[in-house]
Chains A and B, each alone.
Chain A
Amino acid sequence: GQQVMQIPQYQHVQEGEDFTTYCNSSTTLSNIQWYKQRPGGHPVFLIQLVKSGEVKKQKRLTFQFGEAKKNSSLHITATQTTDVGTYFCAGPGSGNTGKLIFGQGTTLQVKP
């Protein structure tokens, strides 16, 4: 079945360092979404990418969608302690039913 893989599973960085998480799908995606979950919280939507090669920025966060629409990345520049949490990518499931299949997530810890 369809799989969405995310690496790395964990990342520890010093405050001010950059961070990147990568997402790969076994199938071509019509779009990809990114979510952030703070410790003890629930996932919160960050962004959706739809076009091949699309790049979107939100302050220090840069999201990319691959040319083949099978991979995506989230890059955070100059991490801050407020960036701590787990970042998930998610792609549509088969059948155009609206369901989303999530990657395993990357947990980011930032040392002050």
Chain B
Amino acid sequence: NAGVTQTPKFQVLKTGQSMTLQCAQDMNHEYMSWYRQDPGMGLRLIHYSVGAGITDQGEVPNGYNVSRSTTEDFPLRLLSAAPSQTSVYFCASSRRSGTANTGELFFGEGSRLTVL
């Protein structure tokens, strides 16, 4: 049972380069999201999706793009990497909960990105 799979686990980029962080889940979850984690800042929501073809911005969306062509996949694209995007990125998914629409989040193992 794979759960939420993120690749790559580690990546070093130069300023201005682009790259895509991959995220896939095999639990048929409707909801997927991307967070970044920085020291002292907790987990900040970048983008999220409530289903295939639907995405929306979170707290810190600038510099990132997402798409959701299938239920399983939710890639995060950095268009032109900047040192401020050095962080640990987590992908998460959940089933929509009946009353509150916020089910338990299942996280991937994280992708550590360094931008030089």
Contact = CB atoms under 8 A, between A and B. Distances in A.
A42 B109 contact: yes
B101 A101 contact: no
Interface residues of A, number: 28
A35 B99 CA distance: 20
Contact size range, B: 20 to 34
B42 A100 contact: no
Interface string A91-112: 0110011111111110000000
Contact of B40 (A9, A33, A90, A101): A9
A45 B102 contact: no
Interface in B92-116: 92, 94, 96-97, 99-110
12 contacts: A6-B42, A44-B107, A88-B42, A88-B43, A98-B31, A98-B48, A99-B31, A100-B33, A101-B45, A101-B59, A102-B35, A104-B42
Closest 4 CB pairs of A and B: A104-B42, A102-B43, A42-B107, A98-B31
